[in-house]
Amino acid sequence: MSTVTNATNIFWQDCQLGKPERQKLLNQKGCVVWITGLSGSGKSTLACSLSSELHSKGKLSYILDGDNLRHGLNKDLGFKPEDRTENIRRTGEVAKLFADAGLICVASLISPYRRDRDTCRAMLPSANFIEVYMNMPLALCEARDPKGLYKLARAGKIKGFTGIDDPYEPPLNCEIEIKEDNGVCPAPNVMAGQVVSYLEEKGFLHC
Ligand SMILES: Nc1ncnc2c1ncn2[C@@H]1O[C@H](COP(=O)(O)OS(=O)(=O)O)[C@@H](OP(=O)(O)O)[C@H]1O
Ligand SMILES: Nc1ncnc2c1ncn2[C@@H]1O[C@H](COP(=O)(O)OP(=O)(O)O)[C@@H](O)[C@H]1O
């Protein structure tokens, strides 16, 4: 366990009952499905559809949604680069705990900086971090604009909005890419099916 802490005189406490026993109980393997993409790209839609699909298969998942976490755990953070970095780090640590609990943790955050996502990946055995890139054109996300935030950003009323005046760094080596097919975005259940197939193929849905 390599962690840098500010505290001294702390010790790692182990318990005989561990992840393997919890996984056996749940008949699944704990992992993190990390969904990244622009605002409006469909992250939350995919997270919900995926969670429902897994539930119907008797598999336990839990969604960590960026917007929701910012109402509690991450309420002290804004959208400055260092705040986004801390937002992702904290969420990565929580996701790691859920995966250790044996759950399929679905994290859905813009997570715009590659280095921050890679930091989360490094928190887990590499196969257990499944990065899903919502590769949707900015024009589509902006046309959707369900919260009217792009409009505000274009009007200069929100500063540092991802994709407008703050960068989004696409993954270079993600496990799953969701993109348009002939200019059409796949339906939510189709996007979820793509992820479920991956989880099935890699053995996460059984123990
Ligand atoms: N400046 C700026 N840039 C991007 N997004 C903004 C901003 N201000 C508010 N919002 C709203 O916050 C949601 C993104 O939160 P995240 O925690 O996922 O962002 S990040 O990962 O820390 O970049 C995002 O939600 P989604 O649309 O679901 O992605 C927006 O609703
Ligand atoms: N696959 C899809 N097909 C059609 N509309 C979608 C799809 N995915 C998302 N949407 C719509 O796009 C908008 C943004 O989706 P959302 O999941 O909130 O994105 P994000 O979480 O990335 O901000 C919502 O109005 C949602 O209903």
Ligand 1, residues 34, 35, 39, 85: which to mutate, most atoms within 8 A of Cβ?
39
Cα separation, 150 vs 50, whole angstroms: 26
Residues 38, 153 contacting (CB under 8 angstroms): no
Cα separation, 192 vs 108, whole angstroms: 13
List the beta bridge partners of residue 134: 178
CA separation (Å) from 106 to 31, 45, 63, 86?
9, 12, 5, 18
Q: What is the pTM for the complete model shown?
A: 0.97
Atom of ligand 1 nearest to the CA of 111: 21
Residue-averaged pLDDT of the chain:
96
> Residue 126 has what pLDDT?
79
Which ligand minimizes its atom distance to the CA of 146?
A: 2
ipTM higher than 0.90? yes
Instruction: Please work out whether the CB of residue 171 comes within 6 Å of at least one atom of ligand 1.
Output: no
> Residue 121 has what pLDDT?
98
Residues 116, 88 contacting (CB under 8 angstroms): yes
List the beta bridge partners of residue 33: 106, 130
Closest CA to 125 of 202, 195, 22: 202
Nearest CA, atom 9, ligand 2: 42
Ligand 2, residues 35, 43, 45: which to mutate, most atoms within 8 A of Cβ?
45
Q: What is the pLDDT of residues 90-119, one digit of tens each?
A: 999 999 999 999 999 999 999 999 999 999
Residues 36, 44 contacting (CB under 8 angstroms): no
* Residue that is written with structure tokens 């921050």 in the block: 116
What residues are annotated to the active site?
Answer: 111
